[in-house]
Amino acid sequence: MSKPLNPFAAALLAVSLMPATASAATATYHMQILEPTLKVGTAVPVTVRIIDDASGKPVTTASITQQKLQMLMGTMVMPGTITALPHTDSEDYRFTADLSMPGEWQLDLVARIPDQANETTASLRFQAVR
């Protein structure tokens, strides 16, 4: 006579019998700034590309849902102004930034990619020079 499975063992058995597609990994993406060095000024063009890590191809259908610019100064940060430009069907996402001082700057982005459950985030660093 066999004993019934305890609830934990039954749940473990059920999970192990699920089809492999139920645990398929979510696609991954990364963002890159195309100009690692920019000139100090107002309305400076900034270009970002989103890459699908699996195919290596640019993503053209994402929407940028949040952007934040800040200058990094040791333990302090100074907020900056960044404006997203309308996205066309190109592979690049364009912004204009007010870069008031030379130094290291960071652009934080959040993008929504169609058919993906999670948003893609990035903190992109670049230098502003005179």
Looking at the domain assignment, is residue 36 inside a domain?
A: yes
Residues of the domain holding 109: 26-129
| Predicted pLDDT at 11 | 47
37 pLDDT more than 50: yes
Looking at the domain assignment, is residue 119 inside a domain?
A: yes
Total number of domains constituting the chain? 1
Tens of pLDDT along 71-91?
999 899 999 999 999 998 899
| Predicted pLDDT at 67 | 98
Looking at the domain assignment, is residue 1 inside a domain?
A: no
Asked whether the beta carbons of 72 and 123 are under 8 A apart, the reply is no
Looking at the domain assignment, is residue 5 inside a domain?
A: no
CA distances (Å), 88 to each of 2, 73, 98, 104, 124, in order?
Answer: 66, 34, 22, 29, 22
- Report the CATH number that the domain containing residue 59 is assigned in CATH: 2.60.40.1080
- pTM equals 0.79
Task: Label residue 3 by pLDDT band (50, 70, 90).
Answer: low
Q: Which residues contact 79 (CB under 8 A, 6 or more apart)?
A: 68, 69, 70
Tell me the C-alpha distance between 119 and 110, whole Å.
7
30 pLDDT more than 80: yes
Tell me the C-alpha distance between 30 and 122, whole Å.
7
For 15, the token pair is 């999970």
For 35, half-sphere exposure in the C-beta direction (CA atoms, 13 angstrom radius) is 16
